[in-house]
Structure 1
Amino acid sequence: MSDVTHPQHSTLSVLRILWKDHRIWMVSVLILLLLAIFDRPQAIDSANFVLAAVLHTAPYLLLSIGLAAWAGATGADNLIARAFVGAPALMIVLGALAGGLSPFCSCGVIPLIAALLAMGVPLSAVMAFWLASPIMDPSMFFLTTGVLDFEFAIAKTLAALGLGIFGGTFVHLIGRRGVFDNPLREGIGNGGCGGSKITAPKPVVWDFWKDSERRARFGRDAMSTTIFLLKWLTLAFLIESLMLAWIPAETVTSALGGEGIVPIIIATFVGVPAYLNGYAALPLVAGLIDQGMAPGAGMAFLVAGGVTSIPAAMAVWALARPQVFALYIALSLSGAFIAGVLFQIWAL
């Protein structure tokens, strides 16, 4: 038998590798190619829209990248350990602050939560961190300011902190009956790559540039964050351009506009399946608001989507017992609705 690889098989293997490593870029390119074939003027308009949007957000993008790389190089994320020491009320507030204001890598959040719960940290404090973490961090704050505005960024930060404190307090009040004494699934709890932040926290090295290894990490993190943000923002701005071109403003206004609570309820539940990630969702919400979406509905969409997006929900489901997962979802949706209503009142 011949060992020669068929050219078609080789091509499929290359495509699989490209799809695995660069699927977001490939989706953007594919959309532009299809537009160029079927609607050339729209392809040109969308490409110009994406370029202008990226240039407009470039200063905020650079701040986001710098903050993310700085947190990794200095080890500032180790400060999380200090949030879970003290009285329950203090732990809940500090847990929400840690989740809403501190940058964490995607691989570190879930293992970190597993380590906290396995070590016996009360679920109330962990839930406060858990709910606030996906909604806001310093880099997200700057991007929200650039894509939406400073007022929206401040309100979203307050929503993250408020949701964390609300959820943590609720869990503390009902947890006195011992309902959530064992929140983790069987076999979960070694902490993984995030556990050492709690079990063996390292000191923060503020002057990281004096250490060659930390300088190298800063460069690696900056590059990986740049690629991550650019690929998602490119796709999101591209979708926004098509949304503005093809979805009548009247449709958005009728479904998600107005001053009542119905648009906020709709946006809360739509955010669950429609949310891509925090960075990609910002341009989409900006486009919807430009077409008449109520500000409160936009806030509810971002908060609900951030906490209950499919990747985040799957991670919670794999980690926690079903009753904890159900509570997580219920707190997320109710908190997002409340945040939307309050922001709508503030925006009037």
Structure 2
Amino acid sequence: MSELVTSQPAIGPAVRRVWKQQGVWLASVLILAILAILDFTQAVESARFVAAALLQTAPYLLLSIGIAAWAGATGADNLIAKAFTGSPVLMIGLGALAGGLSPFCSCGVIPLIAALLAMGVPLSAVMAFWLASPIMDPSMFILTMGVLNLEFAFAKTVAAIGLGVFGGTIVHLLAKSGALAHPLRDGIGNGGCGGAKVRGPKPVVWQFWNDPARRATFGKTAWSTTLFLAKWLTLAFVIESLMLAWIPAETVTSVLGGQGVGPIAVATLVGVPAYLNGYAALPLVGGLIDQGMAPGAGLAFLVAGGVTSIPAAMAVWALARPPVFALYISLSLSGAFAAGLLFQLWHLL
């Protein structure tokens, strides 16, 4: 009995570890299993829908994986350091470009932010990078083009860079008045490995295949990226299949359709709690647009959700002081709303 009691505490951590590693796959399987019990026909249709959607997206998926693996193997993310030199206005523009266009790994963004601020880089330039980074990168551009369309991919890129410039400019104006002098929480270090990219940037090795270690990095990154994208896209396509089957088109059209400001405002707010991650959100928005969602509302959802999703917001909260966090959220929501509104006006021209 005592052996049983002493062994029980290990069950909890083991379950949490399995769920952390395989939770997304398990969620997809669980949804289909429950669906098979309640509505077998719909379960079969959903499985077919997922398979067809993954097959259709496969070329873009493979290209996206290749870009991510190439960035990791060559060290292209080291180029980010060059964005934070020069005048404040130049740094804001380059920071927004770096965040919106560079193939920088998502796991390194928060440590990098800590390093930049600890090294004295102006908060305006850091905020420009911070706001643009979660929205777009080359891999995301390819998948957005494949899942939605090229116009949406360009609009999302412009929105990412525009939000970065907008946020950086606002912070710059506030900083000139003496506000936001100490953005980091007490005890935040110098950014760890993410900060090393800025403190001592290494040269990019474009011909990475000549280096065994870099070839290994390419393979490891490609495999991890494949698993990450496959699990999230599978879950997203499962949810999209149910959305198309169960949510009447007229409901979506009445709430998120039309040409007014209301649908864009609703999509901006809904994007905060409903957003899973950038890759999973694409099929969901595609399904909603097929149901009648306005294009501007779709872009507002993607931008707002990308910057203010719960995991991203928690990371910012842990790093920055409350006034900086509040400013981050405010800039994100207002910028996402403006991006959606401009995109909707573009469609009316």
Q: Could you state the TM-score of these two structures normalised by the residue count of structure 2? A: 0.96
In structure 2, the CA distance between the partners of 1:126 and 1:7, relative to structure 1 (3 Å rule), is: closer
SS class of match (1:195): helix
Look up the match of 1:127. 127
1:5 Cα deviation from its structure 2 partner: 8.4
**Structure 1 Cα separation of the partners of residues 180 and 33 of structure 2:** 52
**Structure 1 Cα separation of the partners of residues 2 and 319 of structure 2:** 48
**Structure 1 Cα separation of the partners of residues 177 and 252 of structure 2:** 45
| RMSD between superposed Cα atoms in Å | 1.7
In structure 2, the CA distance between the partners of 1:258 and 1:69, relative to structure 1 (3 Å rule), is: same
1:10 Cα deviation from its structure 2 partner: 8.8
1:3 Cα deviation from its structure 2 partner: 3.7
SS class of match (1:201): coil
1:177 Cα deviation from its structure 2 partner: 1.1
1:8 Cα deviation from its structure 2 partner: 9.1
**Structure 2 Cα separation of the partners of residues 289 and 219 of structure 1:** 36
In structure 2, the CA distance between the partners of 1:263 and 1:73, relative to structure 1 (3 Å rule), is: same
Equivalence map 1:236-255=2 (5 Å): 236-255=236-255
AA at the equivalent of 2:20 = K
Equivalence map 1:27-176=2 (5 Å): 27-176=27-176
Pairing 1:203–2:203 present:
yes
Contact 1:124 1:168 in 2 (8 A): yes
1:16 Cα deviation from its structure 2 partner: 4.4
SS class of match (2:171): helix
Look up the match of 2:181. 181
Look up the match of 1:332. 332
1:13 Cα deviation from its structure 2 partner: 7.2
**Structure 1 Cα separation of the partners of residues 194 and 2 of structure 2:** 48
**Structure 2 Cα separation of the partners of residues 285 and 237 of structure 1:** 11
**Structure 2 Cα separation of the partners of residues 3 and 314 of structure 1:** 39
**Structure 2 Cα separation of the partners of residues 53 and 262 of structure 1:** 31
Look up the match of 2:285. 285
- Residues 92-126 of structure 1 deviation map (CA, whole Å, 9 limit, x = unaligned): 01000000001222220000000000000000000
Report the identity percentage. Answer: 76
1:271 Cα deviation from its structure 2 partner: 0.3
AA at the equivalent of 2:192 = G
AA at the equivalent of 1:312 = A
- Residues 167-189 of structure 1 deviation map (CA, whole Å, 9 limit, x = unaligned): 11111112101101111011113
In structure 2, the CA distance between the partners of 1:81 and 1:28, relative to structure 1 (3 Å rule), is: same
1:89 Cα deviation from its structure 2 partner: 1.1
Q: Could you state the TM-score of these two structures normalised by the residue count of structure 1? A: 0.97
**Structure 2 Cα separation of the partners of residues 12 and 319 of structure 1:** 29
1:7 Cα deviation from its structure 2 partner: 10
1:155 Cα deviation from its structure 2 partner: 0.5
1:88 Cα deviation from its structure 2 partner: 1.1
Point out the more displaced range, 272-281 or 12-21: 12-21
**Structure 2 Cα separation of the partners of residues 298 and 187 of structure 1:** 39
In structure 2, the CA distance between the partners of 1:182 and 1:227, relative to structure 1 (3 Å rule), is: same
**Structure 1 Cα separation of the partners of residues 161 and 76 of structure 2:** 19
**Structure 1 Cα separation of the partners of residues 97 and 20 of structure 2:** 35
Contact 1:135 1:156 in 2 (8 A): yes
In structure 2, the CA distance between the partners of 1:10 and 1:213, relative to structure 1 (3 Å rule), is: same
Contact 1:107 1:193 in 2 (8 A): no
Consecutive unaligned residues of structure 2, counting only runs of 5 or more, are none
Contact 1:117 1:189 in 2 (8 A): no
1:37 Cα deviation from its structure 2 partner: 0.8
**Structure 2 Cα separation of the partners of residues 333 and 256 of structure 1:** 17
Contact 2:69 2:222 in 1 (8 A): yes
Consecutive unaligned residues of structure 1, counting only runs of 5 or more, are none
In structure 2, the CA distance between the partners of 1:8 and 1:123, relative to structure 1 (3 Å rule), is: closer
Look up the match of 1:213. 213
